[in-house]
Amino acid sequence: MRYISTRGDAPALGFEDVLLTGLATDGGLYVPESLPHFSLEEIRSWRGLPYADLAFNVMYPFVEDAIPADDFRTMLHDTYKVFSHDAVAPLVQLDSNEWVLELFRGPTLAFKDFALQLLGRLLDYVLEKRNQHVVIMGATSGDTGSAAIEGCRRCEHVDIFILHPYQRVSEVQRRQMTTVMGDNIHNIAVKGNFDDCQRMVKESFGNQGFLGGKTQLAAVNSINWARIMAQIVYYFQASLALGGPDRSMAFSVPTGNFGDIFAGYLARKMGLPISQLVIATNRNDILHRFMSGNKYEQHQLEHTLSPSMDIMVSSNFERLLFDLHGRDGAAVKALLENAAKGPVSIEDYRWKHARKLFDSDAVDDKTTCDTIREIYQRNEYLLDPHTAIGVRAARNCRRDPAVPMITLGTAHPAKFPDAIAESGLSVKPQLPAHMADLFEREERYTVLDNNVAEVQGFIAKHWKNA
C-alpha cells in the first residue's frame, strides 16, 4: 500500500517511511492511496474475536508491505495485554439504546493509549531494522503527551520531546508526563496555548535544519497515519458487540483535532455500517461552526474544563477536506492557505455531502458539569468532562432512537477532578493502583517562552547524540 499527501505535491511513500516522516514535504498529511474494503460477511465473521485479533484483521492491509504477519500479530498482542480490562474497550450502557465505549483502560487512562502503545512498538521495530535514530517532537493538549511517553520511553532509538501549554493542562495530565524519568524523555512547558505548540511542531517538521542533519524528526501527534490507523479498530469492536454489521451504529466523538472521528469516517468507508457521526466540541467550536454553517473561521482559543479539546487549528480536518474535494491536493492547499487569512467556506454541494454523515454540537462548561451530575445521579456512572460533552452532543443531535448511539469515552474521570468538583458532586474519582502515588513523584520539565527558535535550540542541545 502506498500513501499520498493531502496537498498533492509530495512523493508517495510506503508504510515505514510514512511512520517516520509524519508531515509530508509539501506540508500535507499522508493518507492511503486506497482503502481496504470488507464485506458484511467478512466483518460478521469477526464477532467474538479478542481485541488484538480484530485489530490484526482491520489494520494488517495498511502495513503488510512492511511487517510480516506474525511479527505484527505479536506486536498487537503485546500492545493490548497491558490494558486493565480483558475486553480492552468495554461498553457501558447508559440508557435503553445509549452506550459509552470506555477507551481509558490503557496505562495512561486515555484513548490515546490505543494508538501510542502500538506506535512505540512500531517505531522500535522499524528503527531497529534500519539501525536508525529519530527525535520525536510532539504537542499535547493533555493526553497525547503522557501516552506518547509511556508508549515510547523504552525505545532504544528514540529521544522524545513533548510540548504542552504551560498551566493549561490538568495537574494529573501534567504529572503523568513530567514524573516519567529517563535520559531520552524531555517535557517542555510552552508559555502559550496548544495551537502555539502544534504550530511549532509543524514548523519544525517543515524545516529540520536545527538538528544539523544528524537525525530526523518523527511524529506522535495524530498527523502520524499510524495513530489514525489504530483508532479505526474500536469502531469495529463496538459495532460487533451490539449486533453489527447487521445493524447500523451512530457514534458521538469528543474531538478537537478531528483524528478520532476521522477514524470512524474511515471505518465506514471500509465497510462498517455507520449512519451518523457526531462531532462533539467545547467552546472552541471551529468544527461545529463549519459543520453546522459551512464557515471555517478561527476564533480566540478559550481555556475550558475539557482542556484536551482546547484546540482551534484542527489538523486532521485536512484529511476530510481532501476527500470532500475529490482528493484534489491543490484545491486543499489553496483552501487552507485562504483559511490562514480569514474565514472560508467550501462549495455548498460538498458541505451538504459531509452533512449526510456528520452532525455537530458545542457544549459549554456549565452544560458539561450538568451532564456529569445528571448521569451520575441517574446511573452512578462518572464521566470525565470530554466524555460528558460527547454524551450531551449525542442526545442533542441524535437522528434515530432505534439506532444504537455510542459515545467514545475518551478519558478516566480521575484525570479531571476539578471538573467533577465543579459539577457539584461530592464523589472524588480515584486514580487506579498503578498511579496511586502520582502526586508524590518527582517532576521534571522545562518552561520555555512561546518562541520556536528557543524550543528548537533546546531540542538541538538535549537530544542524545547532540
Please tell me the number of Cα atoms within 13 Å of 284 on its side-chain side: 25
Summarised one tens digit per residue, pLDDT across range 393-405 is: 999 999 999 999 9
Residue type, position 147, single letter:
A
Summarised one tens digit per residue, pLDDT across range 286-343 is: 999 999 999 999 999 999 999 989 888 888 999 999 999 999 999 999 999 999 899 9
Summarised one tens digit per residue, pLDDT across range 156-169 is: 899 999 999 999 99
In the predicted model, is pLDDT for residue 185 greater than 70? yes
**3-state SS assignment for residue 291:** helix
Domain boundaries, the chain: 88-110+225-422
Nearest to 87 by CA among 118, 63, 60, 55: 55
Torsion sign (Cα): 449, 454, 456, 457: negative
pLDDT at 23: 86
Q: Is the peptide bond before 245 cis (omega within 30 degrees of 0)?
A: yes
pLDDT band at 217 (very low <50, low <70, confident <90, very high): very high
Query: At the topology level of CATH, where does 88-110+225-422 sit?
Result: Rossmann fold (3.40.50)
Nearest to 255 by CA among 58, 371, 407: 407
pLDDT band at 143 (very low <50, low <70, confident <90, very high): confident
Q: What is the mean pLDDT of residues 63-83?
A: 97
Summarised one tens digit per residue, pLDDT across range 351-370 is: 999 999 999 999 999 999 99
Instruction: Write the CB contacts of 180 (distance below 8 Å, at least 6 apart in sequence).
Output: 146, 149, 150, 153
Q: How far apart are CA 134 and CA 140, in angstroms?
A: 19
Residue type, position 96, single letter:
S
In the predicted model, is pLDDT for residue 221 greater than 90? no
pLDDT at 313: 87
pLDDT band at 466 (very low <50, low <70, confident <90, very high): low
pLDDT band at 464 (very low <50, low <70, confident <90, very high): confident
In the predicted model, is pLDDT for residue 123 greater than 90? yes
Model pTM score: 0.93
For all residues of the chain together, what is the average pLDDT? 95
Q: What is the mean pLDDT of residues 193-200?
A: 93
pLDDT band at 153 (very low <50, low <70, confident <90, very high): confident
In the predicted model, is pLDDT for residue 22 greater than 90? no
Residue positions annotated with a catalytic role: 112
Nearest to 281 by CA among 299, 307, 262: 307
pLDDT at 127: 94
Summarised one tens digit per residue, pLDDT across range 408-444 is: 999 999 999 999 999 999 999 999 998 999 999 999 9
Contact 235, 264 (CB under 8 A): yes
- What are the CB-based long-range contacts (under 8 Å, 24+) for 398-403? 398/250, 398/276, 398/278, 399/250, 399/275, 399/276, 399/359, 400/250, 400/275, 400/276, 401/97, 402/97, 403/97, 403/247, 403/248, 403/249, 403/250, 403/275, 403/276
Q: What are phi and psi of 79, to 5 degrees?
A: -65, -50
